[in-house]
Amino acid sequence: MGLPVVAIVGRPNVGKSALFNYILEKRLSIVHEQSGVTRDPVMSPCEHYGHKFLLVDTGGLGTHPKEKKVDLFDGMIREQVMQVVADADVLIWVVNCQEGITPQDEEVADFLHKTGKTVVVAANKADNDNIRKQAFGLFAPLGYLDIHAVSCTHTHGAGLLMDAVVEHLPKQEEGTETEGEAKEPKRLKIAVVGRPNVGKSSLVNRLLGNKRVMVSDIPGTTRDAIDVPVDLKYNDEILPATIIDTAGMRRKKQIDTVVEFFSLSRSETAIKRADIVLFMIDATDPCTTQECRIGRVICDARKCCIMLANKWDIAGKNIKEKEFIAFVRERMPFMDHAPLHIISALNGYRLKGIVGHLLHVREQMGVLIPTGVFNQFLQDTFARTPPPMSGTKRFKCYYGTMKQNNPPKFVLFCNKRSLCPAHYMQFLQNQIRDAFFPEAGLPIVMDLRERTKIDESDDVRKAAAGAKRVKEKEYQEEHRRVQRRKGYIKK
């Protein structure tokens, strides 16, 4: 993204994610007392008094003695941290004031000294003045003198810490920075969702061209929603995008820990803030109950969706492609608007077509239909396939217009909304999609508005009727006076 990188490092369970969220002033990374929660690096743009940089939260270096379940990911976490440290301009090393210097801290110190990077020490969990005064003398033997006492729980010390960090950032000229911001394109947010162990992280690594996120056969490897900026290439075109790798969405009954609950919440939030959702299903076991639930979540959020059937290298040996597509459409009819791609993230089968389809969807998201063209389309559609009768009345549409895109929203002015059955509404949505947004996976939103009528009890109507009665009364009285003068009426 062209920004300086500030990475937060340290051993497990010292408060790296808590400090990351404290600096950003939002809950982006999962925070829990259990060690080893953060595995993949989580990054976000940040600004401190005009200094812009990219803040990165990393996994813990080393394994906590009481936690044996994270041994499987210890090596992968270390590789991820080493890559982030190599690209970082400044490192924030988080230590624990309440535990002091541990053997793990000494190992981290040796590792950081070998990198030669600029390090600012954040002595976390300094919850009172006595601990803050002792922080410098406590951690000075580690070899770094730029030590700042902070407390994420009591929100103390982050401002002074970041003042020290931005002093070590590479300085950029104001003109160069403004020019870089002007050239930064708007990135398309693409969320990769699905149930656990379906191949989401493998697909993300394939699209990125490197091992950015961890991949293993163990379900639940990914925990945070990880945003990765990337420029996807397709022939001569470039698509600026931000790929969001999410944790597998399990059934709520199967969620046992708080960490899994937070992971599910991050995945649902990623769907809401994404422009396009890549919904991955397992081709070896497609259309399970949980996959149908995830599809419903995407439809309720009204997000553009592209379905990807992964693991075709295994499933393709037992079923033909046409039969598989027919099976998916039959089991998930509410996802008929979403195009279905059959891929294999393991060997890269048909992955290039995904980027081409994303470019097509981006073009469709900018389509705005003229009102005259849309009304002509409505007239032809109603003449060709009129709505069914409801008793002695029929649904009528007088006028229609397109209000917005992504998702496409149309406003139809009609005689009565209740006369339009649900199946005819679905028919209109499919006709609009086929005519103006083919193979885009965009949901069509239709707002039916009834034609307004003048109410007899309206205040304006009452005032007009009252004025008319007053004039009529005055006329009658004048007419009677004239008749009396002429002698036609006795006094």
Average pLDDT in the 55-84 region?
Answer: 69
Q: Is the pLDDT of residue 31 over 50?
A: yes
Query: How far is it, in rounded angstroms, from Cα 428 to Cα 382?
Result: 9
Answer left, alpha or beta for residue 155, where phi above 0 means left and psi between -120 and 50 means alpha: left
Which pLDDT score, from 0 to 100, does residue 157 have?
A: 86
Instruction: Give the pLDDT of residue 452.
Output: 67
pTM beyond 0.85: the answer is no
- Domain 371-450 fold is GMP Synthetase; Chain A, domain 3 (3.30.300)
Phi/psi region, residue 37 (left: phi>0; alpha: psi -120 to 50; beta: rest), is alpha
With a cut of 60, say whether residue 72 has pLDDT above it. Answer: no
Question: Residue 306: its pLDDT value, please?
Answer: 93
What is the pLDDT at residue 67? 44
The residues with which 240 forms a beta bridge, in sequence order, are 231
Listing DSSP states for 415-484 in one string gives S-GGGS-HHHHHHHHHHHHHHHSTTS-PPPEEEEEEPP---TT-HHHHHHHHHHHHHHHHHHHHHHHHHH
Structure tokens at 393: 């009345």
Residue with tokens 């050239």: 183
Give the tens place of pLDDT for each residue, 330-344: 999 989 889 999 999
Return all residues near 485 (Cβ < 8 A) that are at least 6 apart.
none
Which of 32-41, 146-155, 200-209, 366-375 shows the lowest mean pLDDT across its residues?
32-41
Name the DSSP letter for residue 40: S
Q: How confident is the model at residue 192 (pLDDT cuts 50, 70, 90)?
A: very high
CB contact at 8 A, 58 and 86: no
pLDDT digits (tens, 9 = 90+) for 374-419: 999 999 999 999 999 888 888 999 989 999 888 899 999 998 888 8
Q: Answer yes or no: are the C-beta atoms of 19 and 94 closer than 8 Å.
A: yes
* CA-angle at 24, arms to 174 and 226, nearest 5°: 100
- C-alpha distances in Å from residue 269, one per residue of 164, 166, 219, 308, 355: 33, 31, 20, 20, 24
What value does the mean pLDDT of the chain take? 84
The pLDDT value recorded for residue 490 is 57
Q: How many angstroms separate the CA atoms of 6 and 88, rounded? A: 6
Is the pLDDT score of 158 beyond 70?
Answer: yes
Which pLDDT does position 296 carry in this prediction?
92
Per-residue confidence (pLDDT) for residue 70, from 0 to 100: 44
Residues near 179 by beta carbon (within 8 Å), at least 6 away in sequence:
none
Cα(123)–Cα(112) distance, integer angstroms: 16
* The domains spanning 188-364 and 371-450 adopt the same CATH topology: no
- Under the banding of pLDDT at 50, 70 and 90, the label for residue 64 is very low
- List Cβ<8 Å contacts ≥24 apart for 270-273: 270/191, 270/193, 270/225, 270/244, 270/246, 271/191, 271/193, 271/297, 271/298, 271/301, 271/303, 272/301, 272/303, 273/189, 273/191
Return the CATH class of domain 5-183.
alpha beta
- Give 54-90 as a DSSP string: EEEE---SS--TT--TTHHHHHHHHHHHHHHHHH-SE
Reported confidence tier of residue 182, pLDDT bands at 50, 70, 90: very low
Looking at residue 327, its pLDDT comes to 93
* Confidence label for 246 from pLDDT (cuts 50, 70 and 90): confident
pLDDT at 69: 46
Ranges of each domain in the chain: 5-183, 188-364, 371-450
**332 CB contacts (<8 Å, ≥6 apart)?**
287, 291, 292, 295
pLDDT value at 65 more than 70:
no
Reported as a single tens digit per residue, the pLDDT across 213-235 is: 767 666 667 767 788 888 888 88
Instruction: Extract the tokens encoding 323.
Output: 């039969």
Query: With 80 as the cut, is the pLDDT of residue 257 above it?
Result: no
pLDDT at 90 > cutoff 80:
yes
CATH superfamily of 188-364: P-loop containing nucleotide triphosphate hydrolases (3.40.50.300)
Of the candidate ranges 60-74, 121-135, 300-314, the one whose mean pLDDT is the lowest: 60-74
> Mind listing the pLDDT tens digit for each residue in 298-333?
999 999 999 999 999 998 888 899 999 999 999 999
For residues 356-360, average pLDDT:
91
